[in-house]
Amino acid sequence: MRKIFPIITVLILFSLLGIIFFQILWIKGALESEEKKFTDHVSMATYQASEDLVQHKGNLFPNDKFQLEFFKPSITQRYTMDEIKAIIRRAFDRQHLQKIPFEFAISSNSIIGESVQSENFFKANADSINNMQQVIPLESPGGSLTEGISPQELLIIIVPHVKSFIWRSMTWLIVGAVLFTVIIITAFFLTVRALLKQKKLSEIKSDFINNMTHEFKTPLATISLAVDALKNDKVINDTERTNYFTGIIKEENKRMNKQVETILQAALLDKKEIQLNLKKVSAHDLITGALNNIALQIAEKQGKLDLMLDAKDDLIFADEVHFTNLVSNLLDNAIKYSKDENLQIKMSTQNAGNYFKLKIEDNGIGMSKETLHRIFEKFYRAHTGNIHNVKGFGLGLSYIKTMIDAHQGTIKAESVLGKGSTFTVSFPLVK
């Protein structure tokens, strides 16, 4: 798993980058194609407008052959501005450019100035980067009276903000491409996240099996040695020694039962099948009871416990068994992760608004920031380097967090590596 995971991640990443790259190429190609298509339509519309302007006579000049020949009228003399605009509009509509705005001018030579033009023509002509310009000469049709005698004129049509129209025409294609790219990226991150989770679960499973094997192997070995000792003739005839070895077997059996109970309890917590027997209790009384169970372990370590029960109101709704267990587990952790000597634990209570607060401080080995963020995860155990004297399944703090949540409380952990840890637990007071 450790070797395959990086390979899978890299392959998926390259596939994702490749898809994004080809999406960009496709959008770029589609934009260029759409721009060419748009340019062709505008060119065709300009050509059709020029043909219509030359062939039609318009309303500005009288419909008289003699006067047409004598006066040699230009396009601007034959049409009004509105007529010219209407003819160009019809040409644009025939090319499916119904909503495309335009500006136009008709010039008698290449120098714009001796001409007629639409209101915003000069402004549109000034921006040659964003606007498209089409220029076509206006010639009289062959065989007409004005052929060869009419002044040479140019029809100039400018379409402003061409890029925006092209982008607008491709809106749905681009939105679709971006949407599916985002979906692919999301799927990639979810896949990597699932792989990381699977890797983590695999490591947790291995650690759990190793810990469980160690936890059961030690009492089984002790029981085996005690049974062998009881078979000895000298021990059989010695009542005191027989009681000693049977006591060892009983204690180790209790220890194994406790481990099994811990695992079963974790399974029940997963299924949310534990039923709490909540009732009004004195938190101080339960804390004192938990201290009685842990006092021998503190004495064994030659440690010191400072107890300050300063909370004036300690009535809470709690399950006596689980509340006592969670306090015992917090104290047990303080002892487990203590230094070899000079164990000091401070336990204090106080009221904060409508909450009862219990604080447990120790001067143990402490935790790193990474460990501090993960201590409430099931099966997670802090790495202690080459020290392997701390036993357990990594279920204690997970159980504590679950029980505190079930009691509508909160827990906060603070720690400095090498200096110790502090756990602050809050429970709502009975109103």
- Tell whether the model's pLDDT for residue 141 goes beyond 80: no
From residue 276, alpha-carbon distances to 188, 208, 321, 399, 405 in Å are 42, 27, 9, 13, 12
Output the CA torsion 83→101→153→129 (10° steps): 170
- The whole-number pLDDT of residue 385 equals 45
Global confidence as pTM = 0.48
CA distance 19 to 42: 34
Q: What are the structural domain ranges in the chain? A: 4-169, 200-271, 279-428
- Each residue of 159-206: pLDDT tens digit? 888 888 888 778 888 888 888 888 888 888 888 888 788 777 777 677
CA distance 257 to 251: 10
* pLDDT level of residue 392 (50, 70, 90 thresholds): low
CA distance 142 to 151: 15
Class of domain 200-271: mainly alpha
Q: Which residues contact 367 (CB under 8 A, 6 or more apart)?
A: 375, 382, 413, 415, 417, 421
- Each residue of 30-42: pLDDT tens digit? 888 888 988 899 8
- Each residue of 220-264: pLDDT tens digit? 877 888 888 888 877 777 888 888 888 888 877 876 776 676 666
- Tell whether the model's pLDDT for residue 348 goes beyond 90: yes
Share of the chain above pLDDT 90, in %: 10
Which of 37-51, 127-141, 153-167, 374-388 is predicted with the least confidence, judged by mean pLDDT? 374-388
> Of the CATH numbers 3.40.50.300, 3.30.460.80, 3.10.20.30, 3.30.565.10, which one belongs to the domain with range 279-428?
3.30.565.10
Which of 169-178, 210-219, 405-414 is predicted with the least confidence, judged by mean pLDDT? 210-219
Please compute the mean of the pLDDT values over residues 129-153 and round it to a whole number: 66
